[in-house]
Amino acid sequence: MKYTQEGDSRLIVRWPASADPAVAFRASGLRRRLVEKNPKWLRDAVPGACSLCIVFDPLIVDPAEVQSLVESLGDAPEDPGQAKCVEIPVVYGGPDAPDLARVAEHTGLAPEEVCRRHAAGKYRVAFMGFTPGFAYIVGLPPELVTPRLRSPRPRVVPGSVGVASVHTGIYPSDTAGGWNIIGRTNMRVIDWRRPDPFLYQPGDRVIFKAVDRHEFEIPQAESTIFESPYTIGEIRHAGLLTTVQDLGRGGFGHQGVTISGAMDRIAMRLANLAAGNREGAATLEYTYPAPRIRFSARASFALGGADFGALIAGRPVPMYERVDAKAGEELVFDRRHRGHWGYLALAGGISAKRYLGSAATDTRSGIGKTLSAGARIALETPPPANGRTVPKDLAPMPGEAPIVRFMPGDDSDSANLDGGEIILSVLQDRSGYRSDAPEFPPGASTMLSEGISPGTIQLPPDGKPIFLMADRPTTGGYQKLAFFASIDTRLIAQSPPGTKLRFKKVTSDEARTVIREMRAALTAIEGI
């Protein structure tokens, strides 16, 4: 086993590169033994094809202590066994196979032969990752091995069957992705309504069965988590993207479930503290155009994050201060002043159904949904009597060229970041922010997938870095250019398209020091 520190709070354990699923099972076994030890610093552990990504609390432990514990757990091989066999009907080719011609050209086979050989493979689930329910399936015939796309698609429809490097797999939900799509299935590989949401687990066998299009229909996604036991208001106009968010769900990366949660976690925490809540209470997160909300009962709230010119019944609403609203009054946002993501913290917290311990919405994973006009807003608990005084300079909005602290990746090109600039693209969502310029030397496209650390800057083969954000995939196979400091996630998140990000190289110890200072400031406010 070899160890590599990534960013300020991650340690990667790697084995020699291999497509043998026994190596992935070795990583899963190490994860199980680590979880059984239950160290208080463990935040997540995500197996990859030949690796284990360990996410730890940088304020509790240092990487050397993490490595010491891992070494004590040993490297014994472990096979999960073959629990079941899952048959997957697939419509190959046609409009649901945009990359079939590319795979055929790369392999030198006719498209029909690519489909026949894919369906004839003997497959087994090696590990889970990327997004909930996404299985990395081994057994792809060697002649079908094909590199990922040079630039991942912003959207891949659910049920898409793809190949990438030595793996094949099925996209469970509407997400970005860089695999070569050669068909589509109507099987729900992830369904949060089932007692066990996941169709398969590591060790299971998979059979792909070619079927005609008329033999099945593609199902429509169904998901809702919003509840209203104590309604105090209603969304009259939804805005561009309004969701329920808290601090997210950790510890489920091995099943492809990302942490999700607020894009600007510091702003959300401060808004909650100003409202009188615990810092992790569920809030409404929104961007511009922002929502319009009508209160049907007396309520108190605080706003944080982006400044969109908020007005309550025509009165200006200050940021990070508790404000009272009367029944019948409306909260509106008249124009964007600064920032990209705003937070409405209701005193008492937002009431929403929880999955895996969190109310955070992750629409790409099918957990929750974007809120629409008519959605009811309710409190989780009775509102606290008072708010807290929050220093407004703790979470300033970024300027025109914010400085992002970073730690180099294992690629020599990351050294060029220090003192350099990257311009953000218009292609931004909760999963990642793409860039327009400059273009770096093309990244590798044949890496075996491994756990993706928080703060990762991916470098796909098109040479345009991608900053991975709250709804990022849990695993991926694109090159890692560098890792931005956890504390600076909010600077990137709050920067609109066209922003020039400037970069400053720091050590992981320096990055952890800044985290410690912010944590102390938040604790002081909460203890008032």
pLDDT by residue for the chain (528 residues), tens digit each? 999 999 999 999 999 988 788 888 899 899 999 999 999 999 999 999 899 999 999 999 999 999 999 999 988 777 777 679 999 999 999 999 999 999 999 999 999 999 999 999 999 999 998 888 999 999 999 999 999 998 889 899 999 999 999 999 999 988 889 999 999 999 999 888 888 889 998 889 999 999 998 776 665 544 434 455 678 999 999 999 999 999 999 899 998 999 999 999 999 999 999 999 999 999 999 999 999 999 999 999 999 999 999 999 999 999 999 999 999 999 999 999 999 999 999 999 999 988 889 999 997 777 888 999 999 999 999 999 999 999 988 989 998 889 999 998 865 566 678 999 999 999 999 999 999 988 888 765 557 889 998 899 998 888 899 999 999 989 988 889 999 999 999 999 999 999 999 999 999 999 999 999 999 999 999 775
Asked whether 112 and 94 are in contact (CB, 8 A), the reply is no
CA atoms within 13 A on the CB side of 188: 15
The DSSP H or E segment spanning 524 is helix 508-526
Q: Quote the CA–CA distance of 264 and 470 in Å, as a whole number.
A: 9
What residue spans define the domains of the chain?
Answer: 2-73, 85-215, 231-394, 403-524
Instruction: Give domain 403-524's CATH architecture.
Output: Beta Barrel (2.40)
Q: Do 2-73 and 85-215 fold alike per CATH?
A: no
CATH topology of domain 2-73: Gyrase A; domain 2 (3.30.1360)
DSSP-assigned letter for residue 310: E
The answer to whether residues 522 and 304 touch, using CB atoms and an 8 Å cutoff, is no
On whether the CB atoms of residues 431 and 364 are closer than 8 A, the answer is yes
Q: What is the pLDDT of residue 224?
A: 39
Beta bridge mates, 175: 156
Of 57, 110, 37, 27, residue with least CA distance to 519: 57
> Quick check: 180 and 164 in contact, CB under 8 A?
yes
pTM over 0.95: no
Instruction: Report helix angle 508-526 to 265-275, nearest 10.
Output: 10
As to burial, measured by CB atoms within 10 angstroms (0-12 exposed, 13-18 middle, 19+ buried), residue 73 is middle
Superfamily name with CATH number, domain 85-215: Cyclophilin-like (2.40.100.10)
Q: From the CA atom positions of the chain, what is the Rg in Å?
A: 23
